[in-house]
Amino acid sequence: MIRYAIGNDIDFDAFIELYHASTLAERRPADDEERMRHMLENANLVIAAWDGDLLVGLARSVTDSVYATYLSDLAVRVSHQRQGIGKELMRRTQEAAPQATLILLAAPAADDYYPHTGFTRHPRAWVLASDERIR
């Protein structure tokens, strides 16, 4: 039975290990401990999925709770994928801020997943990478 909990009071080593076990570490600065700690600590909506004592999933978001929720990370351990955990993490994220629009940027490998969960592609998104500057 998977247990879900809201809050970012999560063991940091378990957090990092989940990113590796879900392959999300390939697209996140998982080797930069300080940056990863800030990512976890500064997210104001974190929902974790637990299988006993094992962290098996996590939705990490930033939200104002009434207009926009940016789902920064959705990580589910490869061994626990295709069991509805990711979908439940997204459902609970939306439930935590029901008035807000849920926004995410999909990794290319997950591009086909999100339409099946109800997401619609938005044609006018703009991104400025962290190594770029406003000109």
Between CA 20 and CA 69, with CA 10 as vertex, the angle to 5 degrees is 85
Query: Does residue 23 sit in helix, strand or coil?
Result: coil
pLDDT tens by residue, the chain, 135 residues: 999 999 999 999 999 999 999 999 999 999 999 999 999 999 999 999 999 999 999 999 999 999 999 999 999 999 999 999 999 999 999 999 999 999 998 877 778 888 888 888 888 887 777 788 888
* CATH class of the structural domain 2-116: alpha beta
Q: Are 44 and 61 in contact (CB under 8 A)?
A: yes
Q: What is the pLDDT of residue 111?
A: 80
Domain boundaries, the chain: 2-116
Coil, strand or helix at 71: strand
- As to burial, measured by CB atoms within 10 angstroms (0-12 exposed, 13-18 middle, 19+ buried), residue 79 is exposed
Q: Which residues pair with 63 in a beta bridge?
A: 69
Give pLDDT, residue 99. Answer: 94
Please state whether beta strands 2-6 and 45-51 pair in parallel, antiparallel, or not at all (unpaired). antiparallel
- Collect all residues with Cβ–Cβ distance below 8 Å to 82 and sequence separation of at least 6: none
What pLDDT is attached to residue 69? 95
